[in-house]
Amino acid sequence: MKHLLSTEDLSLANAVRILDTAEEMAAVGEREVKKLPALRGRTVVNLFFEDSTRTRISFEAAAKRLSADVINFAAKGSSVSKGESLKDTAQTLAAMGADAVVIRHWASGAPHRLAATDWIDAAVINAGDGTHEHPTQALLDAFTMRRHWSKLAGTPSAGADLKGMRVAIAGDVLHSRVARSNVWLLRTLGAEVTLVAPPTLLPIGVEKWPCAVSFDLDETLAQGVDAMMMLRVQGERMNASFFPTTREYSRRWGFDDNRLRALDTLGLKDTIIMHPGPMNRGLEISAAAADSPRSTVLAQVRNGVSIRMAALYLLLSGDTREPATTVTASAAASHAANPNLTYSHQESH
């Protein structure tokens, strides 16, 4: 495993491997000494071109629990804000000996550029790129769902997938990297996904995605849902006519108190409510829903550290990381030719 760039081309075997490793990492988090020596002497750079305190500290905690050295590089106030290019930033980090780069970028595909070019030969982890993907978020969501699903089944979660689980994802799918990563990963894990959104907030081409699409949240709930994931919606979208007002949005597509009560009347006693955070209480999710026993919001945050520990461990630990090789611009071809690279396009579904 060389990079973690997307869930679209993540194989079932690798997805389960990351989830299982995260289970082991979670056990570390429950010990008094929450630290493993696995990545001692390795350097992890958090390269953040977009503000995201939550994701950054999650990766920072993960790296530190694995004893890695962590460097936080925030683009604001740095040389980047003085016009330095991604290429120069990457080459600077390479010269400083970064072993892994955790990159958050406002531009879709920026992590792919780092991985595909010869600017830097470090493991690249996509911590959210534009409106493309946020693979560790999807993995922590799947981790959270898998624990819930296994508990209901009374089976261990290690090695399990999500076959048969009904997941609804509601909100601004168009601009959501979380939705994209979840759709691909949940498909790979065997869950049944329904996207619920106003038609304006679904991308053209969504009909080719491996999921169902609905414009009606109540109808989707009535058909039965095991996990209800709400996506953050920016109120500013109404200024671009994606929806008329925030109130209308909340009424039609928000998880409000009425819908929280509906879960009970529909007999959906085990349905969990998820949100990647940060939440807009009162817009896409009501305070009662966010704070209800069904809510997994804080569990998701906790699990995020375990997932990121697993990702860093699998990318950087000695037995799975192949020797440094020059990655050329034709990275796709060389990846495919290298049998050690488990994330090649050959494995995509």
Partner 1 sequence: MAEQQQHADNSGAYLIRGAAILGGAAEDILIRDGIIAARGNQLDADGAGVRDATVIDAAGLVALPGMVDIHTHLREPGREDAETVETGTRAAALGGYTAVHAMANSTPVADTAGVVEQVLTLGRTAGWVDVRPVGAVTVGLAGEQLAELGAMADSRAHVRVFSDDGICVHDPVLMRRALEYVKAFDGVVAQHAQEPRLTAGAQMNEGEVSAVLGLAGWPAVAEESIIARDVLLAQHVGSRLHVCHVSTAGSVEIIRWAKSRGVNVTAEVTPHHLWLTDELARSYDPVYKVNPPLRTDADVQALRAALADGTIDVVGTDHAPHPSEHKECEWAQAAMGMTGLETALSVVQHTMIETGLMGWDDFARVTSTAPAAIGRLQDQGRPLETGEPANVILVDPAARWTVDPSKMATMGRNSPFAGRELPGKVMATFFKGHPTVLDGKLNTPYRWPADAVDAAPSGRP
The owner of tokens 């990351």 is 18
Of 87 and 321, CB closest to partner 1: 87
DSSP type of residue 133: B
Decide if residue 282 touches partner 1 (CB under 8 A). Answer: no
Q: Which of these segments, 59-67, 101-109, 258-266, 281-289, binds partner 1 (CB under 8 A)?
A: 101-109
Q: Which of these segments, 10-18, 50-58, 113-121, 287-295, binds partner 1 (CB under 8 A)?
A: 113-121
Of 32 and 207, CB closest to partner 1: 207
The answer to whether the beta carbons of residues 226 and 189 sit under 8 Å apart is: no
Of 96 and 332, CB closest to partner 1: 332
Instruction: Output the six-digit token pair for 65.
Output: 């629990």
Start-end of H helices in 130-271: 135-153, 177-189, 217-222, 246-253, 257-265
Nearest to 18 by CA among 330, 258, 310, 262: 310
Characterize 191-218 residue by residue with b for buried, 16 or more Cβ atoms within 10 angstroms of its Cβ, and e for exposed. Answer: bbbbbbbbeebbbeebeebebebbeebe
Per-residue x/- track, 117-146, partner 1 (CB under 8 A): x-----------xxxxx-------------
Q: Which of these segments, 14-22, 99-107, 138-146, 263-271, binds partner 1 (CB under 8 A)?
A: 99-107
List Cβ neighbours of 155 (8 Å cut-off, separation of 6 or more).
Answer: none
* Residue of the chain from 203, 252, 262, 266 that contacts partner 1 (CB under 8 A): 203
- Amino acid at the residue 196: V
Size of the site for partner 1 (CB under 8 A): 30
Of 258 and 328, CB closest to partner 1: 328
To partner 1, the closest distance from the beta carbon of 262 in angstroms equals: 31
* Residue of the chain from 81, 85, 200, 325 that contacts partner 1 (CB under 8 A): 85
Helix or strand run (H / E) with residue 72: strand 69-74
Decide if residue 94 touches partner 1 (CB under 8 A). Answer: no
